[in-house]
Amino acid sequence: MAYEKLKELIEGSDNIVFLGGAGVSTESNIPDFRSEDGLYKAKTKYGYSPEYLISRTVFDTKPELFFDYYKNNLIYRDAKPNKAHYALAALERQGKLKAVVTQNIDNLHQEAGSKTVYELHGSVYRNYCMGCHKFYSLDEMMSIEGIVPRCPDCGSIIKPDVVLYEEGLDGRVWNAAQRAIEEADMLIVGGTSLVVYPAASLVGDYRGNKLVLINKSTTAYDNMASLVIHDSIGEVLSSVVDI
């Protein structure tokens, strides 16, 4: 019944925006570092919380600790797009989905074929020298010897284009995502418990009456939604979208 209603809502919409979180990537076997398991791993091996380990403070003052954690816990080069990624790319090709707004940093939406993707927290696939600003791909950055990647040209540290704790979001990306959600006739929120701010606040910018929440657990916004489905985001979307 819920799947039928979702399909009906999608068919009656032509300006859909998808807002997604870590749950979209966990179905591609990318662990959520904020989960209990991720928290346990960080505390056990490093003695700190994940939020501290990927903070700007640690990047600036303890780069060896930062990159040891970052390289081993936030980069999954073998991960592949899952059913959710492909379903969203298909909806975009059909002209129904206008944008994906993601909290993930793994590039899987683009790999699946999505064109308009607003990456609120950046991407591990973009890296820049803090001295001369030279661009480095993920493979180039990872191939540099030593735990802390330094630019072969100027010797400065290469920083991932990822929003760290204590850093602000990219204003242009945020504004574009906000505008897309404000203009949407349907907002699908998936794979997120909506507890990470400011990303979760974007739900409040939606002005339509077709808010759909797809997540395995409940969220604080469930009572605001037209439809709530507590299930796998990949299974749900692939059941109602022809990939």
Catalytic residues: 121
Amino acid letter, 229 = I
DSSP letter (8 states) at residue 36: H
Show the DSSP H helices in 119-219 as ranges. 138-143, 171-183
CA distance 13 to 8: 9
CA distance 65 to 46: 8
Amino acid letter, 22 = A
The answer to whether residues 148 and 61 touch, using CB atoms and an 8 Å cutoff, is no
Beta-sheet pairing, 135-137 with 97-102: unpaired
Over its C-alpha atoms, the chain yields an Rg (Å, rounded) of 19
Residues 6+ apart with CB under 8 A from 193: 21, 23, 215, 217, 219
Q: What angle do CA 69, 75, 76 make, to 5 degrees?
A: 135
